[in-house]
């Protein structure tokens, strides 16, 4: 996690509001839905990039070797062959929050969302993961087994 939720900036205050709302949803037992997924996506983008706007795939460092080759190939359509995905799936994150709803805190919600930052992989790599049964679950180190990803750790420094 690169950005703190405790900064004084407007965007940091916005993310605190989102995290509180998401934690309140989990505490109330609200099922995962489009809105909760969008909230988690926005929070994850802020924690990694410091903003809610679209990620910069051209410079992102959490990328598979195959996706890096595509990105660096000069093909103007390389983005159509890759996907930006949550290393810990959104459904798994929210399930963790629901499981911990009796004791869920703002800080714990941040750890759940920010512990495994998103990664950029090829769509073919994503299909292989799904075929192995890792579409909605799995520890990232297990989900991405067999996908070459040099130069980064799946876990952020958050919660350590």
Per-residue confidence (pLDDT) for residue 138, from 0 to 100: 66
Per-residue confidence (pLDDT) for residue 160, from 0 to 100: 47
pTM score = 0.83
147 C-beta neighbours (distance < 10 Å), count: 18
> Mean pLDDT across the stretch 19-32?
96
Answer whether residue 159 shows pLDDT above 80: no
Answer whether residue 25 shows pLDDT above 90: yes
Give yes or no for a contact between 23 and 109, defined as CB atoms under 8 angstroms apart: yes
Picking from 28, 9, 144, 32, the residue whose alpha carbon sits closest to that of residue 85 is 144
> Mean pLDDT across the stretch 125-143?
79
Answer whether residue 54 shows pLDDT above 70: no
């Amino acid at each position: 996690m690169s950005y703190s939720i405790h900064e004084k900036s407007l965007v940091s205050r916005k993310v605190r509001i989102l995290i509180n709302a998401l934690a309140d949803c989990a505490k109330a037992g609200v099922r995962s839905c489009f809105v909760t997924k969008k909230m988690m996506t926005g929070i994850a983008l802020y924690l990694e990039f410091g903003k809610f706007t679209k990620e910069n795939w051209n410079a992102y460092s959490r990328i598979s070797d195959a996706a890096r080759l595509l990105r660096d190939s000069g093909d103007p359509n390389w983005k159509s062959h890759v996907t930006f995905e949550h290393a810990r799936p959104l459904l798994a994150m929210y399930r963790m929050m629901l499981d911990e709803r009796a004791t869920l805190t703002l800080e714990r919600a941040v750890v759940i969302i920010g512990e495994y930052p998103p990664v950029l992989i090829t769509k073919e790599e994503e299909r292989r993961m799904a075929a192995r049964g890792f579409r909605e679950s799995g520890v990232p180190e297990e989900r991405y087994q067999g996908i070459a990803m040099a130069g980064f750790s799946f876990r952020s420094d958050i919660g350590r």
